[in-house]
């Protein structure tokens, strides 16, 4: 397993220390660890772990620099054979995402902070998994950036308990009371509040010394100026001391009597807080973000209100004035750190997340319409599940046909779309973004249309499989030529799946009937005087609204129903969509055969249950034919302008009625001649086929 971590710099800080810790764990387990950053104080520690470091300005926002870094990252990913690109900050994530996707590698993120709602910040949710430190961050990323809970992995930050050893009750070497904070030098960390609070504490305890540790070189000059002016204004020049960021944090912590986390804004976690708790320093922290999950007020530390120096000072005084209470809190805190925040636990969870994300492929199968074609896609879904047993397989279908795959065991989720309605126009781009948020590894385009090709591209799916059919096929980067010879629908799909290494397919359609739909059918048939076990013949009135040439004709169906009515016990059930309702009314009023009219009255699930209950289905080249095959129900297939070799589903019990003429398989929606291929099929011929199948 080869992992590339991206972090702006390697200066002292929680993010940077975590990067080095993970790098060490990777190399100790025999994996390759690579880090790209602009370098810093921890670079030497990183290299000492056996990791490779590339000095790159991955945190720079300059577009020219970003493009240069993007190209270099792609080279690194290829050269080092990287499996996972792990971004720990926003700009590195933006660059790393596109570099990883272009190279077809797994991209993940760790969301370290409660970022402002902004496009750049939303990139932290683009990872295949998003690592967060606690439930607070999980809720935040979900609420602010719409990151699904299912893709977030909670891994609390960890402390090296061997480095940060518990000191127990502090042995005083002098009368100085040292109150300190260790953090980045930035306004949100609340240094000005800390200085104000120290000023208030010195009124009661003049021997207090305030310690500020952080990397001054990375701080903004105007903020350093504000800190110095505040110290001068409060006459604290001899009270506030600055510690070099190169000093060892455990050594600094051991000298403290109180540790303060004075964050003004939401803090995702607060590594320095648990480091202080591990050493046994009483903690006073402001009530922000995830800090309150590790600091239980009065139990493992004290909580003050953010941006309130008076409250902060009161809590510091409370710790100083009550040594027994402080000792009780630090013992509880250490026990909690050992249980929840040990470095060993963090690293084990991180390595496990790496392994799991490599096993977990996310596959999008696109079969948007129509109903019959969606039914025909099930063998491909079955074959993909056999090829990728541990993967997540999601299928994109038109919202009208979402019931067709309900209960199919090879599908983890059905994603619906309405490309002619809510997801059209500008919303089409939005829908592509929604698919992008899923972080699919590959797409299999069984629809092979312009829109499906565009959606795969907009979703930034690294491996996009489809046919080169001239319909924006350049958007598909794993494509094969359209077959030159006629193929049945399943062989046509299998030919595409060959690109994924799928060479075998079980040619068996499959549908799962819904118990509630089965119950509805029983009640519907009973209400129409159909007895239990009575044979019924389902007649699909229309093969296609858009293809009139595929329809056999209402008069022929009426004559067929009259022939069937002469056979003792048979009832005819009319099947069709709402658009077929006028024809169904004419049918019912034109015959004494008393057909049961179910046209426009069924959902897809109820239609499936009705077909499953039938003895034989009579249908043109349409969805009921495929549904009958899926339930192993005998059917009579009436073909005209389309080629049975290309559209007939796999089935055991069926009769094909197809009259061949020089113009056969013309694939014209409207016949320019006399519809001879359909008109030459007589009701008596269909009747004989039905009775033979029933026998």
pLDDT in tens, 70-110: 999 999 999 999 999 999 999 999 999 999 988 989 999 99
Specify the pLDDT at position 248: 85
Angle in degrees, CA 528, 532, 533, rounded to 5: 120
> Whole-prediction pTM value?
0.71
Which two structure tokens, joined as six digits, stand for 297? 């007020």
State the average pLDDT over residues 277-303.
Answer: 89
**Which residues in the chain are classed under CATH 3.40.50.2000?**
2-154, 177-341, 361-500, 515-694
Fold of 2-154: Rossmann fold (3.40.50)
CA atoms within a 13 Å half-sphere pointing along the CA-CB vector of 107: 33
pLDDT in tens, 8-24: 999 867 788 889 999 99
| β pairing state of 463-468 and 442-445 | parallel
pLDDT at 268 exceeding the cut of 70: no
Per-residue pLDDT band for 438 (boundaries 50, 70, 90) equals confident
Main-chain phi, psi angles of 671, to 5 degrees:
-75, 125
Taken in order 193, 199, 202, 204, the sign of the CA dihedral is: negative
Per-residue pLDDT band for 54 (boundaries 50, 70, 90) equals very high
pLDDT at 669 exceeding the cut of 90: no
Specify the pLDDT at position 615: 96
Specify the pLDDT at position 270: 74
Length of the chain: 695
Specify the pLDDT at position 134: 86
Residue pair 471/484 in contact (Cβ under 8 Å)? The answer is: no
Residue 65: name the closest of 96, 95, 97, 35 by CA.
Answer: 95
CB atoms within 10 A of CB 72: 17
Which two structure tokens, joined as six digits, stand for 621? 């080249």
How far apart are the C-alpha atoms of 105 and 438, rounded to whole Å? 15
3-state secondary structure of 203: coil
State the average pLDDT over residues 310-330.
Answer: 93
How far apart are the C-alpha atoms of 638 and 678, rounded to whole Å? 8
* Superfamily of 177-341 according to CATH: Glycogen Phosphorylase B; (3.40.50.2000)
Residue pair 249/273 in contact (Cβ under 8 Å)? The answer is: no
CATH number of the domain at 515-694, please? Answer: 3.40.50.2000
pLDDT at 288 exceeding the cut of 90: no
pLDDT in tens, 529-583: 999 889 999 999 987 777 888 889 899 999 999 999 988 789 999 999 999 999 9
DSSP H/E element including 379: helix 378-387
Percentage of residues in the chain having pLDDT higher than 70 = 99
State the average pLDDT over residues 375-404.
Answer: 94
Q: Which residue has the higher pLDDT, 546 or 668?
A: 668
pLDDT in tens, 465-524: 999 988 889 999 999 999 888 889 999 999 999 999 999 899 999 999 899 999 999 999
Spacing of C-alpha 215 from chain mean position: 37
Specify the pLDDT at position 92: 95
pLDDT in tens, 355-385: 999 988 899 999 998 999 999 999 999 999 9
State the average pLDDT over residues 660-667.
Answer: 82
CB atoms within 10 A of CB 1: 15
The beta strand positions in 399-450, using DSSP E, are: 413-417, 442-445
3-state secondary structure of 587: helix
Residue pair 515/609 in contact (Cβ under 8 Å)? The answer is: no
Main-chain phi, psi angles of 99, to 5 degrees:
-65, -45
Per-residue pLDDT band for 418 (boundaries 50, 70, 90) equals very high
Specify the pLDDT at position 409: 95
| β pairing state of 84-87 and 654-658 | unpaired
pLDDT at 267 exceeding the cut of 70: no
* CA-to-CA dists, residue 594 to 419, 430, 572, angstroms: 40, 50, 8
State the average pLDDT over residues 26-45.
Answer: 93
State the average pLDDT over residues 269-298.
Answer: 87
Residue pair 548/555 in contact (Cβ under 8 Å)? The answer is: no
Burial per residue of 461-485, b for 16 or more beta-carbon CB atoms within 10 angstroms, e otherwise: bbbbbbbebebebebbebbeeeeee
DSSP code of 462? S
pLDDT in tens, 597-631: 999 999 999 999 999 999 999 999 999 999 999 99
* Superfamily of 361-500 according to CATH: Glycogen Phosphorylase B; (3.40.50.2000)
């Amino acid at each position: 397993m080869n992992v590339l971590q991206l972090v702006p710099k390697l200066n002292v800080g929680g993010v940077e220390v975590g990067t080095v810790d993970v790098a060490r764990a990777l190399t100790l387990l025999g994996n390759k660890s690579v880090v790209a950053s602009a370098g810093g104080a921890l670079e030497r520690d990183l290299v000492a772990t056996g990791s490779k470091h590339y000095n790159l300005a991955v945190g720079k926002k300059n577009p020219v620099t970003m493009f240069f870094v993007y190209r270099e990252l792609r080279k690194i990913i290829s050269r080092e054979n990287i499996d996972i690109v792990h971004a720990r900050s926003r700009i590195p994530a933006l660059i790393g995402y596109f570099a990883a996707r272009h190279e077809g590698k797994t991209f993940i993120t760790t969301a370290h902070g409660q970022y402002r709602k902004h496009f750049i910040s939303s990139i932290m949710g683009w990872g295949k998994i998003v690592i967060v430190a606690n439930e607070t961050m999980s809720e935040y990323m979900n609420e602010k950036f719409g990151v699904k809970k299912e893709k977030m992995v909670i891994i609390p930050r960890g402390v090296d308990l061997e480095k940060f050893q518990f000191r127990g009750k502090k042995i005083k070497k002098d009368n100085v009371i040292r109150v300190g904070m260790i953090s980045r030098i930035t306004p949100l960390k609340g240094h000005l509040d800390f200085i104000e609070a120290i000023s208030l504490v010195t009124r009661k305890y003049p021997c207090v010394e305030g310690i500020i540790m952080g990397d001054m070189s990375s701080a903004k000059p105007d903020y350093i100026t504000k800190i110095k002016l505040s110290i001068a204004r409060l006459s604290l020049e001899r009270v506030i001391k600055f510690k070099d960021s190169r000093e060892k944090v455990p050594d600094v912590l051991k000298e403290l009597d109180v540790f303060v986390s004075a964050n003004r804004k939401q803090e995702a976690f607060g590594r320095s807080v648990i480091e202080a708790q591990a050493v046994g320093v009483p903690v006073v922290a402001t009530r922000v973000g995830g800090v309150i999950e590790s600091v239980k007020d009065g139990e493992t530390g004290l909580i003050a209100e953010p941006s309130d120096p008076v409250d902060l000072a009161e809590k510091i005084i409370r710790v100083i004035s009550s040594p027994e209470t402080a000792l009780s809190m630090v013992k509880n805190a250490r026990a909690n750190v050992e249980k929840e925040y040990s470095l060993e636990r963090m690293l084990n969870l991180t390595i496990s997340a790496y392994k799991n994300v490599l096993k977990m492929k996310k596959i999008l199968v696109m079969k948007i319409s129509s109903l019959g074609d969606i039914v025909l896609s099930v063998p491909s879904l079955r074959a993909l599940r056999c090829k990728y047993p541990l993967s997540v397989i999601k299928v994109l279908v038109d919202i009208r046909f979402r019931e067709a795959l309900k209960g199919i065991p090879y599908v983890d989720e059905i994603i619906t779309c309405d490309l002619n309605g809510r997801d059209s126009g500008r919303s089409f781009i939005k829908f592509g973004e929604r698919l992008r948020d899923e972080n699919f590894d590959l797409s299999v385009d069984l629809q092979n249309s312009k829109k499906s090709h565009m959606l795969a591209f907009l979703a930034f799916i690294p491996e996009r499989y489809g046919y080169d059919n001239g319909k924006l096929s350049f958007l598909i980067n794993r494509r094969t030529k359209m077959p030159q010879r006629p193929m049945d629908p399943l062989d046509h799909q299998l030919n595409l799946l060959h690109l994924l290494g799928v060479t075998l397919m079980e040619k068996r359609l499959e549908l799962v009937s819904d118990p509630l739909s089965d119950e509805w059918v029983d009640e519907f048939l009973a209400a129409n005087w159909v007895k239990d076990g009575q044979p019924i013949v389902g007649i699909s009135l229309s093969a296609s609204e858009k293809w009139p040439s595929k329809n056999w004709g209402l008069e022929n169906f009426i004559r067929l129903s009259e022939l069937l009515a002469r056979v003792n016990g048979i009832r005819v059930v009319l099947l069709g969509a709402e658009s077929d309702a006028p024809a169904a009314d004419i049918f019912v009023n034109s015959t004494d055969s008393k057909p049961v009219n179910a046209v426009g009255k069924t959902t897809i699930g109820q239609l499936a249950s009705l077909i499953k209950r039938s003895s034989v289905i009579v249908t043109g080249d349409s969805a009921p034919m495929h549904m009958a095959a899926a339930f192993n129900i005998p059917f009579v297939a009436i073909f005209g302008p389309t080629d049975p070799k290309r559209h007939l589903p796999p089935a055991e019990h069926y009769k094909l009625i197809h009259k061949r003429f020089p113009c056969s398989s013309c694939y014209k929606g409207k016949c320019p001649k006399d519809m001879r291929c359909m008109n030459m099929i007589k009701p008596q011929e269909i009747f004989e086929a039905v009775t033979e199948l029933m026998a």
